[in-house]
A and B are shown apart, each in its own frame.
Chain A
């Protein structure tokens, strides 16, 4: 390679234009207790495990669109595996990843040790138990009425909710005993997410007011929207309010903008669930309220992304030299794009074209993946090496980043175009099967993008393994 390039310098790759640039190393190691490191790392490790499991299912589901006869086993059929994919990446991967980071950020910004490490472990096992049990039941064909993201029947989801309560108590106690006067904005978002999600799970599963098909739909709209908007969104935003300024080594641009975004998030986001059922037989006024507040979401989204981007301003060099900050920058950009896209989808005129189509699938992946997952990865790569003193290979972090980003763009663009074509085909009054036939090339592109995303997760799991703490190895050896 070196010899070849001296003979004939390549316009693309040469010693002056290398394929990769060395990034800044993690620098100083954080003095954290062994308990803290082990707990946080264990959450991250399980998160990576569930990411691989959940997206293996997703990847396989994507193939079924172009190859419906790939298997004929009931446990692997589309209708059973689809909720496995969504629930495993929600409650396994993303939730555990976010809680891992929160278990570090909350004590750190409160200048206290975590209230109880034991409760931290209890919560981890409750949540893992929930995902294992829920997944097996789903594959056996036992689900909670096919209600999206609440497919786990209550005994399985109950374990998760219990884990949430244990963690919420643990974090609340840590904040209550803080050694600083002010509660840092990250902790507003993080603990609020726990409290909101506990309320949400209770409302979603209690009987009595959602027993016919219409009341069920009213609660479903509320639930499926808040599941994303009051759990994943505030959690990753709260974490970013810590990691972004920390990794850039400068304060957040505006504290009060963060506070404004917080209260408007709570007020507006809660009201918009019914926009998932525009034109449905649920009360028309409920749909209109949802559409109006969907426009209101422009406030917290613009305040939030503006705040992050203005914090980044002037530090682009630092971001380019870091291997964790590019994930955070990507996540912030997707947060804005996908939220504006969501507002557009709520308008009745556009909803007509996009509702029920694959456009929705693109939207949910751009948000849960481009926004939530990238921010989690940014936090993991920003924190874990400093905690364990072990850095992941920079090359493989780069491969993770680019495979995930390019894969997501292929996936998202293909389904956005395909979804729009589906909607237009229905409006044109073509035979229904036309809307299936026209999707085939887009489903192929989705499978290609999905494969790249899945490969990036294997690399992420490898990187997590490379970042494992030494002490973990010692304890293992000791246990044997």
Chain B
């Protein structure tokens, strides 16, 4: 059999296939294994509570990461969002379930603000509820979508309900706005996003 790419289809496609597999192992699979093995949660961090984990699932389900990053870069322009993100910040994130992989919380676009440290920057629960019900009720120029399906409008709110007071123009004509469990979970997750201290001497770079 001729060893000629132009005439030997087994050789040609065999090389194409194995070559790509080898390159992919070198550039993606092995580095991923390597970082996964070494990545440790930061000492001051804690695992998400059950409610916060549910909130992360709502965050993913609604596609929040298409407009919000959770990734502070080690450059001056990002200092406003907090300290530079470190691998340890993402060590506790994992697969959601057997159907869904680890969420891409780092994000790729900053149509809205970075959320790495939003729990410290905006610690008010009430603000987050109002903002999710209608972002323009708290930030007039916002282009973020409203999430009314995370809320219920009830005529009579019960004693256990989380009632949200919405300013005039944005409030429903009748009834009171009550947060669903999903809204409570999402707000709990957002408030959990607080950067913790890096150990002294540790840099933002991967070890």
A429 and B75 contact, Cβ closer than 8 Å, known pairs A146-B63, A195-B17, A356-B109: no
Contacts of A361 in B (CB 8 A): 109
Which of B45-53, B142-150, B156-164 is the interface stretch? B142-150
Q: Which residues from chain B sit less than 8 Å from chain A, CB to CB? A: 5-7, 9, 12-13, 16-17, 19-21, 23-24, 27-29, 31-36, 39, 60-67, 69, 71, 73-77, 80, 84-87, 89-96, 99-113, 135-136, 139, 141-149, 204-206
Contact status B102-A270, CB under 8 Å: no
A145 and B91 contact, Cβ closer than 8 Å, known pairs A195-B17, A199-B24, A270-B23: no
CB distance from B17 to the nearest CB of A (A): 5
Complexed CA–CA distance, A437 and B145 (Å): 16
Complexed CA–CA distance, A266 and B18 (Å): 11
Tell me, yes or no, whether A352 is within 8 Å of chain B by CB: yes
Contact status B143-A199, CB under 8 Å: no
Complexed CA–CA distance, A352 and B76 (Å): 10
Q: Mark A428-461, 1 if CB is under 8 A from B, else 0.
A: 0100110011000000000000000000000000
Complexed CA–CA distance, A204 and B19 (Å): 18
Q: Mark A277-298, 1 if CB is under 8 A from B, else 0.
A: 1011111101001000000000
Contact status A427-B77, CB under 8 Å: yes
Contact status B99-A154, CB under 8 Å: yes
Contact status B109-A360, CB under 8 Å: yes
Tell me, yes or no, whether A400 is within 8 Å of chain B by CB: no
Contacts of B110 in A (CB 8 A): 356-357, 426
A residues 81-116 touching B (CB-CB < 8 Å): 82-83
18 contacts between A and B (CB under 8 A): A79-B64, A144-B100, A146-B66, A209-B32, A213-B93, A214-B35, A214-B36, A216-B101, A217-B104, A218-B31, A218-B35, A259-B5, A271-B23, A273-B28, A279-B73, A281-B204, A282-B35, A282-B87
Contact status A188-B12, CB under 8 Å: yes
Contacts of A259 in B (CB 8 A): 5
Number of A-B contacts (CB under 8 A): 254
Residue ID in chain B nearest A82 by CB atoms: B66
Contacts of B73 in A (CB 8 A): 279-280
A429 and B77 contact, Cβ closer than 8 Å, known pairs A68-B142, A72-B146: yes
A146 and B23 contact, Cβ closer than 8 Å, known pairs A64-B145, A68-B145, A281-B87: no
Contact of B65 among A146, A200, A437 (CB under 8 A): A146
Contact status A210-B63, CB under 8 Å: no
Contacts of A212 in B (CB 8 A): 35-36, 39, 90-94, 102
Tell me, yes or no, whether A183 is within 8 Å of chain B by CB: yes
Contact status A216-B62, CB under 8 Å: no
CB distance from B205 to the nearest CB of A (A): 5
A residues 384-442 touching B (CB-CB < 8 Å): 426-427, 429, 432-433, 436-437
Contacts of A192 in B (CB 8 A): 13, 16
Contact status A283-B91, CB under 8 Å: no
**What is the size category of the interface that chain A forms with chain B?**
35 or more
Contact status A215-B36, CB under 8 Å: yes
Contact of B99 among A155, A200, A270, A283 (CB under 8 A): A155
Complexed CA–CA distance, A181 and B204 (Å): 56
Extra 11 A-B pairs, beta carbons < 8 Å, given A145-B96, A280-B106, A429-B77: A72-B149, A73-B149, A79-B66, A178-B9, A203-B24, A212-B36, A216-B90, A216-B102, A281-B204, A357-B109, A436-B142
Contact status A207-B31, CB under 8 Å: no
A283 and B31 contact, Cβ closer than 8 Å, known pairs A82-B66, A213-B102: yes
Complexed CA–CA distance, A172 and B7 (Å): 14
A residues 136-162 touching B (CB-CB < 8 Å): 141-148, 150, 153-155
Contact status A148-B145, CB under 8 Å: no
Contacts of B102 in A (CB 8 A): 145, 210-213, 216
Contact status A68-B143, CB under 8 Å: yes
Contacts of A132 in B (CB 8 A): none
Complexed CA–CA distance, A433 and B33 (Å): 39
Contacts of B142 in A (CB 8 A): 68, 433, 436
CB distance from A34 to the nearest CB of B (A): 28
Contact status A280-B71, CB under 8 Å: yes
Contact status B104-A216, CB under 8 Å: yes
Tell me, yes or no, whether A230 is within 8 Å of chain B by CB: yes
Q: Mark A209-242, 1 if CB is under 8 A from B, else 0.
A: 1111111111110110000001000000000000
Contact of B106 among A66, A143, A210, A277 (CB under 8 A): A277
Contact status A266-B19, CB under 8 Å: yes
Contact status A148-B16, CB under 8 Å: no
Contacts of B96 in A (CB 8 A): 145
3 closest residue pairs by CB, A with B:
A79-B63, A213-B90, A279-B73
Contact of B60 among A145, A352, A356, A426 (CB under 8 A): A145
Contacts of B107 in A (CB 8 A): 356
Tell me, yes or no, whether A468 is within 8 Å of chain B by CB: no
Contacts of A154 in B (CB 8 A): 99
Contacts of A147 in B (CB 8 A): 101, 103-104
Tell me, yes or no, whether A117 is within 8 Å of chain B by CB: no
Tell me, yes or no, whether A182 is within 8 Å of chain B by CB: yes
Which interface residue of B75, B99, B146 has the most chain A CB atoms within 10 A? B99
Tell me, yes or no, whether A176 is within 8 Å of chain B by CB: yes
Contact status B95-A211, CB under 8 Å: yes
Which interface residue of B33, B90, B142 has the most chain A CB atoms within 10 A? B90
CB distance from B171 to the nearest CB of A (A): 14
Contacts of B112 in A (CB 8 A): 436
A residues 152-211 touching B (CB-CB < 8 Å): 153-155, 172, 175-176, 178, 181-183, 188, 191-192, 195-196, 199-200, 203, 205, 207, 209-211
Contacts of A215 in B (CB 8 A): 32-33, 35-36, 39
